[in-house]
A and B are shown apart, each in its own frame.
Chain A
Amino acid sequence: MDLIVFEDYYSTFLLSIIKMINRSIFKKIKGNIFILILLLTRLLTSNQALANEPLLVGAIPDQNPERLNRLYDLLCLELSEKIKIPVRYVPVTNYSAAVSAFRTKSLDLVWFGGLTGVQARLQTPGSKVLAQRDIDEKFRSVFVANKSSGIPIINNIYELKYLKNRRFTFGSESSTSGRLMPQYFLQQAGVQIDDFSGRRPGFSGSHDSTIALVQSGSYEAGALNEQVWNSSVSNGRADLDKIRVIWRTPKYKDYHWLAQQDLDKRYGKGFTKKLQKTLIDFNMENPRQAKILNLFGAKRFIPASNDQYKEIEIIGRQLGKIN
């Protein structure tokens, strides 16, 4: 086709379309556009229309995160019934994202691990530790080893040097029980992270993966959360013919609920106290509360305070996880 003719054809074609739109469709659509704008403004303002802005709750993805992600309705319902304010759960699936979201006040109440909680609190001055689980007061990590690796049971911390030049894996990078504390104890025994085979440890990503990988023998040893280990033994996931505990760490503080500082200002005086009391009052007799406690792997929540996590902060700084 001759190009100029083609172009000509094209411009008339386009023009006719524009005319068509101008003439007919626009008139018809005009009314609908108003409806559309109305709908959009409704969308825009729907959140502000609520009597109270909801309390935004989050949790770091740590133990059974998929179940928590599906059953958070329970927690929201229970909390909102008790504190008389709508509660919304936000499934943030990245440790650092949870910390950042807390800093930008996009989350009001978050279930943090020891390290992430301290990171979040330092970045959000004034925020307050409300509660921890009964087990978090005296939490431990376990070092596990594949039986065929020949790594012996460790009797005191200095024997951790047996792990030198072995294939070793931590859990997630930001995990307190799967990385921070194990690394701290290893360091006390004089084992640095480049002392492992391949000059680096693995980061399996989760406590369950650590068990799977050590059990298979790909990694000769690893460290994880004691609570996950115990439940894996009881539900048969950990095969005790292949994997065993070689050492339990000393006790330290771990997971906790962290709340924003300005909750009293937003929801009325004494709100933070009320929130804390609600969490602490959860008990196993109430079926819904029992389900929630199970979800968090706890028998109950107990009061906790900021200064209990001083040790974690010092260790975090020492290992470069807190800047």
Chain B
Amino acid sequence: MNRLFLHPTILIFLPAIALIPVSYTVIKDTHGGGVGILSSFFYAAFHPSYDNLVLNHSFYALQITVASALLGWIISLFIGFILGILSSQLFWFLLGFAKVNSNFIKGILAIPRAVHEIVWGLLLLQLFGLSPLVAILAIVIPYSCLVAKVVSDQIDNYKFDVLLASKYSGAGIFSILITVLFPSLIPLLRGYGSYRLECALRSATLLGIFGLGGIGTELQLTFQSLQFSEMWTSLWMLGLVMFSLEKLVNWVRSYPSINSRVQYQFIIFPIFFIILFLIAIFWLSFLGINLFDEFNYHPIDWPTITQILIAFKQLPVLNLILSTLLITFLAAGIAIGIPPLGLLLIPTKFGMQLQSFLWLFCRLIPVPLFALLLLVCVNPSSCLAALALGLHNIGIMGRLLKEGFIEQNKDCFQSMKNSGACFRSSLLYGILCPQTKSYLSYAAYRTDVLLRETALLGVVGGVGLGWQLQESLSSFAWAQVVIITSTYISLTLVGEYLIQIIRRYCLGEDSQISLEISY
């Protein structure tokens, strides 16, 4: 092979370059005006409100969040897995339709994913009114498409040799799916699946839009009036749930008898999910949320072509795209680059524990809160916006890296270490390097989310598409919403195409080719 490939290890650290412009600008703009607010925020962390009313209400809100997150999560995992298998190249290949291009299905699935959750929420609300069932639906649609994307990518990254061997030795398609493919998806289900549950816990917007309350609503409202001690009551509760979830998943993972035999998992997982599903439904009705409340269809006036054309002329689309991309890339650089850097700099057991806590903290603090905390000490700029967005997402990427770290086969690392390589090098080449591909795919999905999360940065100054979306939604300018949403969809599709190309040219991997050879 003559082509020059970038070594994956470089690629994993490359994004951290974003730190240079961001830290330069932020340090330059820092001032001491917000010390008071910052100190009251951190003081409140150790003095959360123990007021009975606050405690009761936060606890009730927490239950609503956990129950609806559980329900949304299970449904979206289920649908996501099916869609994921359907949209993988491999599935169609196994069925014998070698020429079916699953990219088409993937492209269609990218559309619901690229539509901002606020748009989904408000659109469904416009059509069906306040209904808990519709709220769950609004959570499920984008989530299941995201899971589908991850699953199909994972399947298509799978080594084809075993599958081909099974296929050519005459095994039926479903037995291949069950015996070869399913076991390979189990770690994904455990790692990424549990991470999705945490995402569902943290996502608050939709429950608030549908008037269901929840801990996210508590956070949003207490944050709005800067009642830090009351806010910390909710933050600690949410943090505790997230922490125990992480521990629980690790415990399940370390339980050998569950993991040892595929057939156990084949029964355990469905039963486990059905039980959780029922628990979630009954829990919600116990909390006074009637999922089966009736709802009616309320037609809306869809914008006409002329309206859309007029809106297109009004909006500075190119400017919006450029400023959004700038923030997205900087934020992505910070979020993707720092966790591996941290792991390499402090690779001790204590250091990893510390980072694990730090990342949990980062995930816990919502983006608008980070933005405000930073903004009281730093003058507004795009770099600051990127930093706020990046800091929250470091937590998420850190968690994903840790998941991968735990699932990673340590043989290579051990043998390197035993043959005398220093600890850091063995960590770098034995663990981080094999992780690069999956970590960077997660990073790509995350960048996709970051693109939409720029909507949360209005406080730093009306920046980019996300802010314009909020503005158009609050003006009920549906023609503008259509344009912005289409822009998001196009950006997502182009982004995914570029990532495929990058994979092909930088990492030298190409699932397409290996399939073509086998035709």
Contact = CB atoms under 8 A, between A and B. Distances in A.
B225 A173 contact: no
A224 B96 CA distance: 65
B372 A209 contact: yes
A206 interface: yes
Contact of B376 (A13, A218, A237): A218
B351 interface: no
Nearest to A122: B476
B218 A212 contact: no
A61 B130 contact: no
A80 interface: no
A93 to B, nearest CB: 4
Contacts of B37: 212, 216
Contact of B368 (A97, A198, A200, A205): A205
B358 interface: no
A216 B467 CA distance: 23
Contact of A206 (B125, B224, B290, B460): B224
Interface string B160-181: 0000001001111001001100
B198 interface: no
A202 B458 contact: yes
Contacts of A6: 179
Interface in B189-220: 205, 208-213, 217-218, 220
Contacts of B179: 3, 6-7, 10
A66 B221 contact: yes
Contacts of B107: none
B224 A66 contact: yes
Interface string B121-134: 11001101111000
A100 B171 contact: no
B19 interface: no
A44 B281 CA distance: 12
Contacts of B342: none
> In the complex, which range does the number of interface residues on chain A fall in?
35 or more
Interface in A79-113: 90-97, 99-101, 103-107
A203 B208 contact: no
B462 A46 contact: no
B227 interface: yes
A218 B33 contact: yes
A218 B458 contact: no
A212 B263 contact: no
Contacts of B31: 216-218
Contacts of A323: 475-477
B473 A203 contact: no
A70 interface: yes
B417 interface: no
A104 B285 CA distance: 23
Contact of B224 (A10, A103, A201, A208): A208
A7 B6 CA distance: 41
Contacts of A92: 130, 208-211
B377 interface: yes
Contact of B221 (A7, A11, A69, A107): A69
B222 interface: yes
6 contacts: A193-B462, A198-B381, A216-B376, A218-B34, A218-B376, A323-B477
B154 interface: no
A230 interface: no
Contacts of B375: 213, 216, 218
Interface in B106-136: 118, 121-122, 125-126, 128-131
Of B33, B293, B473, the most chain A CB neighbours within 10 A belong to: B33
Of B125, B368, B460, the most chain A CB neighbours within 10 A belong to: B125
A3 B470 contact: no
Nearest to A101: B130
A90 B130 contact: yes
A26 to B, nearest CB: 15
Interface in A174-212: 174, 193, 198, 200-206, 208-209, 212
Interface in A201-256: 201-206, 208-209, 212-213, 215-219, 237, 239, 242
A40 B460 CA distance: 48
Nearest to B462: A200
A320 B129 contact: no
B33 A91 contact: no
A10 B175 contact: yes
Interface string B452-491: 0000001111110001001101111100000000000000
Contacts of A61: 220-221, 224
B383 to A, nearest CB: 12
A219 B381 CA distance: 11
Contacts of B235: none
Given A97-B209, A198-B380, A212 B372 contact: yes
B234 to A, nearest CB: 10
A17 interface: yes
B459 A322 contact: no
A297 interface: no
B57 A43 contact: no
A114 interface: no
A58 interface: yes
B129 A101 contact: yes
B130 A65 contact: no
B298 interface: yes
B267 interface: yes
B517 interface: no
A167 B379 contact: yes
A15 to B, nearest CB: 13
B26 interface: no
A92 B226 CA distance: 19
B126 A100 contact: yes
Contacts of B172: 7
Nearest to A210: B459
B422 interface: no
B11 to A, nearest CB: 34
A97 B461 contact: no
B20 interface: no
Given A10-B263, A92-B208, A101-B130, A216 B221 contact: no
Contacts of B218: 66, 69
Interface in A52-73: 58, 61, 63-67, 69-71
A167 B377 CA distance: 14
B54 interface: yes
Contact of B471 (A65, A169, A173, A205): A173
B513 interface: no
B169 A3 contact: yes
A119 interface: yes
Contacts of A107: 130
Contacts of B62: none
B53 interface: yes
